């Protein structure tokens, strides 16, 4: 007669743990890699937003002048601020002057958007305040992402990342 508290002899499981690990590892790997890919995409997007906001602020720091080149000088400062803020990005998605949009328009203009052309002699004052718009977009982020998606597994990264900032400018307040 066997006592009730005696455990049964252990059974051998010959490779079951290795088989379970071989099945579960790809799932865990894809989950961690997806978190990494999306996390880096959010980091790039947040950095882009910070950069265009810095560009808009840089346009306000330029001294007030009476010449028509005033807006062009402000544009150069804004573009440089955006490029300096995103200097850490890989060369494939790092901004160039052509990628960054800078425009100034009057508040309330129907056609006021980031793709509007810059009017160099636009006047702003307390009665007609202006809006500075700075934007940057990465058009093909999927193919040039920092951590690319694994082919065939359907990790969906955004095709375009875009950031836009606007700031109200009143020349009498500068």
pLDDT tens digit string along 82-97? 999 999 999 989 999 9
Judged against a pLDDT cut of 80, whether residue 108 lies above it is answered with: no
Instruction: Give the separation between CA 117 and CA 63, rounded to whole angstroms.
Output: 22
C-alpha torsion sign, points 57, 61, 64, 70: negative
Q: Most confidently modeled of 53-67, 85-99, 144-158?
A: 85-99
Band (58; pLDDT cuts 50, 70, 90):
very high
pLDDT band at 13 (very low <50, low <70, confident <90, very high): low
Q: What is the pTM of this model?
A: 0.78
* Residues 6+ away with beta carbon under 8 Å from 85: 47, 50, 51, 54, 55
Pairing state between β 130-138 and 100-106: antiparallel
pLDDT at 165: 95
């Amino acid at each position: 007669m066997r006592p009730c508290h005696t455990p049964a002899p252990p059974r051998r499981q010959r490779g079951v743990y290795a088989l379970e690990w071989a099945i579960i590892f790809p799932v865990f790997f894809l989950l961690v890699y997806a978190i990494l890919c999306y996390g880096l995409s959010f980091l790039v997007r947040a950095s882009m937003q910070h950069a265009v906001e810095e560009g808009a602020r840089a346009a306000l720091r330029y001294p007030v002048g009476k010449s028509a080149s005033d807006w062009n000088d402000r544009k150069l400062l804004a573009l440089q601020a955006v490029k300096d803020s995103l200097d850490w990005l890989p060369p494939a998605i790092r901004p160039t002057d052509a990628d960054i949009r800078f425009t100034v328009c009057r508040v309330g203009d129907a056609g006021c958007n980031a793709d509007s052309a810059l009017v160099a002699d636009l006047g702003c004052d307390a009665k007609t305040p202006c809006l500075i718009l700075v934007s940057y977009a990465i058009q093909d982020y999927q193919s040039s992402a920092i951590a690319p998606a694994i082919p065939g597994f359907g990790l969906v990264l955004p095709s375009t990342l875009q950031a836009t900032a606007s700031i109200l400018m009143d020349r009498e307040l500068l």
